[in-house]
């Protein structure tokens, strides 16, 4: 079943608690939390105090997307906050296999994010053990960007590799996801659809979440 993950970067931070409750009532499956350090990506979002507050308020699972250098340094804290899923960028670490194991040993699902230019070949040897793969469908750093069509090929490739080998990973897409691009991603094999600006700007959140899952 396809899952919808609202990206809280697009929420109104002055009403964060309220919007979390409303998105849950609208049928959201998992919240997507974007952590940006102003180094790996040219923007800063929010950090641990905000993640901690979200973890106290939200009742659905939380998916942290680390867009930082040295992602290793944050794992312990996320585990303590009851985070369910953590992804890091393959471009941001020299030891992705070790980091994947650390996340899993801390009781969380480990994901690897791929920038638009990064081929699947770079994570080929991690595929049997990884829990999910985050295919960036925009360049990371900002919400509200346009979906990059060429990234969709990787979703189809990963789906085919998964079938051929019986691998268990889920495929997540992130960036520029609206009803039209969501449908194309679902057809290509995506399981987890992250959506920020489209969902939060929709007049009827319940309807928007429902349509995205179909």
Q: How is 49-106 classified by DSSP, letter by letter?
A: HHHHHHHHH--S-EEEEEESS-GGGGHHHHHHTT--EEEEEGGG-S-HHHHHHHHHHT
Phi, psi of 107 (to 5 degrees): 90, 15
CB 34 within 8 A of CB 45: yes
18 is in an annotated binding site: no
User: Binding ligand DX5 by CB under 6 A: which of 4, 35, 99, 177?
Assistant: 177
Q: Which does 196 bind (CB under 5 to 8 A by kind): Zn ion, ligand DX5, none?
A: ligand DX5
**Residues contacting Zn ion: total by CB under 5 A:** 3
Cβ at position 135, least distance to ligand DX5 in Å: 11
User: Binding ligand DX5 by CB under 6 A: which of 106, 145, 179, 206?
Assistant: 145
Q: Which residues partner with 174 through β-bridges?
A: 136, 194
Cβ at position 165, least distance to ligand DX5 in Å: 28
Exposure of 28 by Cβ count < 10 A (0-12 exposed, 13-18 middle, 19+ buried)? buried
User: Binding Zn ion by CB under 5 A: which of 28, 174, 176, 181?
Assistant: 174
Asked about 34 being catalytic, the answer comes back as yes
CB 108 within 8 A of CB 78: yes
Asked about 174 being catalytic, the answer comes back as yes
Residue number of the CB closest to ligand DX5 reads 196
The tokens for 58 are 């939200």
The tokens for 76 are 């312990």
Exposure string (b/e) for 7-17, b if CB count within 10 Å is 16 or more? bbbbbeeeebe
Q: Which does 181 bind (CB under 5 to 8 A by kind): ligand DX5, Zn ion, none?
A: none
Residue 175 gets the label, from left (phi > 0), alpha (psi -120 to 50) or beta, of: left
Region from 50-58, 90-98, 119-127, 170-178 binding ligand DX5, contact rule CB under 6 A: 170-178
Q: Which does 28 bind (CB under 5 to 8 A by kind): ligand DX5, Zn ion, none?
A: none
175 is in an annotated binding site: yes
Which residue numbers belong to the known binding site?
Answer: 7, 32, 34, 65, 141-144, 174-176, 196-197
Q: Which residues bind Zn ion (CB under 5 A)?
A: 34, 65, 174
Q: Which residues bind ligand DX5 (CB under 6 A)?
A: 7, 9-10, 32, 34, 65, 138, 140-145, 174-177, 194-198
């Amino acid at each position: 079943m396809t899952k919808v993950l609202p990206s809280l970067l697009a929420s109104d931070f002055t009403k964060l608690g309220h919007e979390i409750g409303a998105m849950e009532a609208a049928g959201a499956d998992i919240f997507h939390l974007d952590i940006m350090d102003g180094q790996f990506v040219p923007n800063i979002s929010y950090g641990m105090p905000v993640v901690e507050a979200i973890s106290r308020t939200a009742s659905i699972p939380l998916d942290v997307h680390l867009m930082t250098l040295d992602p290793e340094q944050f794992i312990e804290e996320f585990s303590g906050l009851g985070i369910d899923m953590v992804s890091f960028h393959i471009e941001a670490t020299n030891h992705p296999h070790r980091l994947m194991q650390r996340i899993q040993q801390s009781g969380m699902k480990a994901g690897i994010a791929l920038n638009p230019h990064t081929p699947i070949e770079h994570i080929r040897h991690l595929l049997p053990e990884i829990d999910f793969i985050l295919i960036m469908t925009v360049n990371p750093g900002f919400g509200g960007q346009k979906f990059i069509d060429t990234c969709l090929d990787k979703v189809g490739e990963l789906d085919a590799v998964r079938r051929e080998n019986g691998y268990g990973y889920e495929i997540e897409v992130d960036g520029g996801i609206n009803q039209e691009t969501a449908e194309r991603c679902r057809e290509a094999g995506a399981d987890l659809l992250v959506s920020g600006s489209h969902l939060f700007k929709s007049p009827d959140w319940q309807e928007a979440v429902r349509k995205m899952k179909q």
